Amino acid sequence: MKKTILFTTLMLLISLLSFSTLINEEGNVYNLNLEYENGWVKVLSHTLQFGGNGTNFDFVEQGGQDILFPFERFTADLELFDKHHVVFLYQPLTVETKVQQRDDLVFNDTTFASTTNADSVLNVKYGFPFWRVSYLYDFLENEDYYLSAGLSLQLRNASIIFENYDGSKVTVNQNLGPVPIIKIKAAYFFDNGIYLETDADGFYASSAFINGADFNFEGSVFDISGRVGFELKDSLNTFINIRYLGGTANGTSQYESTRWSESGQSENYTSNILNTATFTLGFEIK
């Protein structure tokens, strides 16, 4: 199985390298860079509460998120006229765990009672994958370094599910929505082929005017990375990347729950605080 995955990854890199070489001709007004990262994510802290009387659930202490989980990321950077960048990102992020309940838990006005038998096993799914499109402009650029800044629009695709062992009791919260973000990217290149790069996306809103709703709701997202890269050849780099990925949501939604996948709780209060760190090995094909 491991040999098959390694072979598939190598073939994918070779195919992408050939594709990139074919389309990125010298003198073109565009240039396409492709990135792939693979590694692990560690949940540093993660708490969640649904409803004013709900349990403030600790995913690390109570929900089984105390180990490492696989992590990957896909990025395509389309450079136009040497100064403009349109960046497309897909970030899968779904963690599914199973734990033995030790206390009574309340989510969305639903009580999951703790017992001594198999009914006390809790299946937990925290899905928060997202797509992001960004625009960057190169304000500073030469052979040694560059500095770019711009805006991103992130589309979150959240799905949070708590279910008891036999499936007789379940609560579901799902949400699809856009998030505007500020983006900064910079790098410095050494003469020996090694380079340092940082990439930061961040956003915080605590008012209805900024977050796009007609009521106050606090929210934030931060995606900050630092990497050490190695130029292998003109069209291929590899890198080691460390990333902080986290965010918050806190407030009472005034939207009416109409879909069966929405909570339908008497008080639509949510508190969700997530902090993670990732370590990945990646490849960039230029």
Over residues 230-237, mean pLDDT: 87
pTM: 0.85
Q: What domains does the chain contain, in order, with CATH numbers?
A: 28-285 (2.40.128)
**Does the pLDDT of residue 166 top 90, yes or no?**
no
CA–CA dist 61, 46 (Å, integer): 9
For the purposes of burial, counting CB atoms within 10 Å of the CB of 71, is it exposed (0-12), middle (13-18) or buried (19 or more)? buried
Query: Quick one: pLDDT at residue 21?
Result: 56
**Does the pLDDT of residue 82 top 80, yes or no?**
yes
Over residues 117-133, mean pLDDT: 87
Question: Which band of pLDDT confidence, cut at 50, 70 and 90, is reported for residue 269?
Answer: confident
**Does the pLDDT of residue 266 top 90, yes or no?**
no
CA–CA dist 256, 89 (Å, integer): 31
Positive or negative, the CA dihedral 130, 195, 81, 27 is: negative
Q: What is the mean pLDDT of the chain?
A: 85
Query: Quick one: pLDDT at residue 27?
Result: 66
Please answer whether residues 107 and 166 qualify as being in contact, where contact means their C-beta atoms are separated by less than 8 angstroms.
no
CA–CA dist 16, 233 (Å, integer): 14
Nearest to 205 by CA among 222, 193, 217, 197: 217
Please answer whether residues 60 and 43 qualify as being in contact, where contact means their C-beta atoms are separated by less than 8 angstroms.
yes
Question: Which band of pLDDT confidence, cut at 50, 70 and 90, is reported for residue 2?
Answer: very low
CA–CA dist 284, 33 (Å, integer): 7
Nearest to 272 by CA among 257, 251, 244, 245: 251
